[in-house]
Structure 1
Amino acid sequence: MSRLSICLIPTDGCQQQHGSNKWILVPHGAGLFKEKFGILVPTAAGSIFIPSYRNADFKKTAHITQSAEGLGYHSAWISDHLMPYSIFDPWTAISGLAVLTSQITLGTLVSCNLFRHPSIVAKMSTTIDHMSGGRFVLGLGAGWLEAEFRGYGIPFPKYSERLGRLSEASKLIRRMWLDEKATFEGTYYQVKEAVCNPKAIQKPTLPLWIGGRGEKLLRIVAAEADGYNLNEGTIDEFKVRLPKLRQLCKEMKREYDSIEKSWLGTVLIGENSDQVRSKLKKYQPTAISAERYLGPAVMGTPNECLRKIEQYKELGVTHFIGWFPEIAEDESGLKLFAREVMPSFN
């Protein structure tokens, strides 16, 4: 952020405020989020979105993250799935990346709330914040891929319960981050005088993002989150989601501009149209429709990518996180984007 300002975030109960829905002053740069660019780090071999990553290779994952850091990317993120791919656990992988990097922000996008108890997630988060020197962002989601729940023997409740659990988890985690002894009595989660020390390096604590495609998720974002991510969000989808988020913030007396809005999707860039067509022919997945793949994508020559990003920016999106389909075998797109696109915003 370009300078320090004050914004409001919900604590839902600091040490002196148990059971309330209070707000505290936090130096988080309300309305002052400058444009940032990050990458989704490949960890899933055979993913249709990063098909060049053919084998689960942590050395390759680390190398790509270090390359992004060296090129000036702001952030590197890891998704959270158990199957069907050969895929690394995000928390273990980020722990490794934390000690192999020195500047780039690291985060989960998103960690599935139902895979781990939120009290343990709170503890793991502050540990990684220390390992990284204060560079961790916790992104949480409700979970959606039923097959991996069944495969791993994890209950898969209906959507309303998944949202309820995500809401409670967000409150519980923040309380454990801030309180010396956290007590929480929810419908789904309970902790009693839980101690989560050491506290995060980031003050007053580390950022909490909420990510997902459902509109009902926005109420949790407005109430609890420092950041919002819409995975594969199109221009039209952001035009619908963000005004709804603004209205919810107004109802909750929350400063809308204190929430960082982010986009996650395909970045396919080439020096010229021929390069773009060649990459598209090689990497476009056949398992999903062209409309779904191309609609939210930032794709084309540097100037074409700039124009697409400007459209998102005009809607209030400031953090752009891309996956580069060719990145595991060719970093030229990663470099071209850093050289020709990012400087226009920074």
Structure 2
Amino acid sequence: MDLRIFTEPQQGASYDTLLKVAKATEDLGFDAFFRSDHYLRMGDGDPMPGPTDAWTTLAGLARETSRIRLGTLMTSATFRLPGILAVQVAQVDAMSGGRVELGLGAGWFEAEHTAYGIPFPKEKFARLEEQLEIITGLWETEPGKTFSYEGTHYRLADSPALPKPVQEKVPVLIGGHGAKRTPALAARFADEFNIPFASVEDTRRQFDRVREAAEQHGRSADDLVYSNALVVCVGRNDAEVARRAAAIGREVEELKENGLAGSPAEVVDKIGRYAETGSSRIYLQILDLSDLDHLELISSQVQSRLS
């Protein structure tokens, strides 16, 4: 089971804070550092220091780390034109020496669009599909040839389709809870399917849908990596678990029900239940980015028991 660290910087984190977490992620042996792609805090609380841009952040981290994978859960298709996003991701991949992964979603948080003057179209899913066609098409175009695309929402003519990523193929992540369109999109484009904040039962149900869609598309269901994203709150004892839950404004029992919470043994046991669904990777949502001791505990007492 791969464990990856997943951060939500819009809740309050500077680049320097993210750099500390990313370096701890690497030093403690985790597989990857991922971040969300949002420009506005969700819920009440201090909005300082304000948002950081996902791909600007990852570009910096690409030069400050050497081993961990870097990516987004999920880049919002509403924030960037697909041709420009293909350039950005390819460039950060080169800056990292080939360690980038692209999670791409339709976008959903209307308030952040309003706050920063970003259009919030109604036909988001159709735009996401076209973006995936364009980005993968640009990267797959042979050097020396051009790429053109005529869609409903985007048009490209004679693009040189440059730059190319360093990796032969940048892994593409698609995720969500949708019962039909999401599995179908994953079957066409995804190297990994991720379901966020889902129970074991809902995870199994959604993975089965994606597997079926992959087979219908002519792919082996095992071509895809299946993963979860879950909030994590681990403590050496009940008091430490309660302290960490309070620090992120959550209740312990709710976290145990909807995430990975409790003692290391409890968390290892629950991860095992997700593994039984076919999940081979978990993105641990870390909400208190100042608590690096939490990462050390997870590394020494949880990750060590899963290898």
Task: Select 1:60's aligned residue among 9, 17, 21.
Answer: 17
Runs of 4 or more consecutive aligned structure 1 residues displaced over 4 Å after TM superposition: none
Matched position secondary structure for 1:77: strand
Residues 280-333 of structure 1, C-alpha deviations (whole Å, 9 max, x = no match): 2343348xx975x543311111110001101111101111111233331x2122
Aligned partner of 1:6 in structure 2 is none
> What letter is aligned with 1:135?
R
Question: Does the 8 Å CA contact 1:126/1:198 hold for their aligned counterparts?
Answer: yes
Aligned partner of 1:171 in structure 2 is 133
Could you tell me how far apart the structure 1 residues matched to 2:155 and 2:59 are?
Answer: 27
More helix by share: 2
Could you tell me how far apart the structure 2 residues matched to 1:295 and 1:123 are?
Answer: 41
Aligned partner of 2:303 in structure 1 is 342
Q: Does 1:71 align with 2:36?
A: no
Backbone CA RMSD of aligned residues: 1.9
Q: How many residues get paired?
A: 296
Q: Does 1:38 align with 2:29?
A: no
> What letter is aligned with 1:171?
E
Matched position secondary structure for 2:276: helix
1:124 CA displacement: 0.7
Aligned partner of 2:61 in structure 1 is 97
TM-score (norm 2): 0.91
> What letter is aligned with 1:262?
S
Residues 127-171 of structure 1, C-alpha deviations (whole Å, 9 max, x = no match): 00000000000110001111122233333233xx21111111111
Matched position secondary structure for 1:95: helix
Q: What is the correspondence of 1:305-320 to structure 2 with a 5 Å cutoff?
A: 305-320=267-282
Q: Does 1:210 align with 2:174?
A: yes
Task: Select 1:189's aligned residue among 154, 170, 182.
Answer: 154
Could you tell me how far apart the structure 1 residues matched to 2:183 and 2:116 are?
Answer: 29
Aligned partner of 1:252 in structure 2 is 217
Q: Which runs of 5+ in 2 are unaligned?
A: 42-46
> What letter is aligned with 1:338?
S
> What letter is aligned with 1:140?
L
Question: Does the 8 Å CA contact 2:8/2:287 hold for their aligned counterparts?
Answer: no
TM-score (norm 1): 0.81
Task: Select 1:151's aligned residue among 115, 137, 148.
Answer: 115
Matched position secondary structure for 1:295: helix
Task: Select 1:235's aligned residue among 187, 200, 219.
Answer: 200
Matched position secondary structure for 2:102: strand
Question: Does the 8 Å CA contact 1:142/1:212 hold for their aligned counterparts?
Answer: no
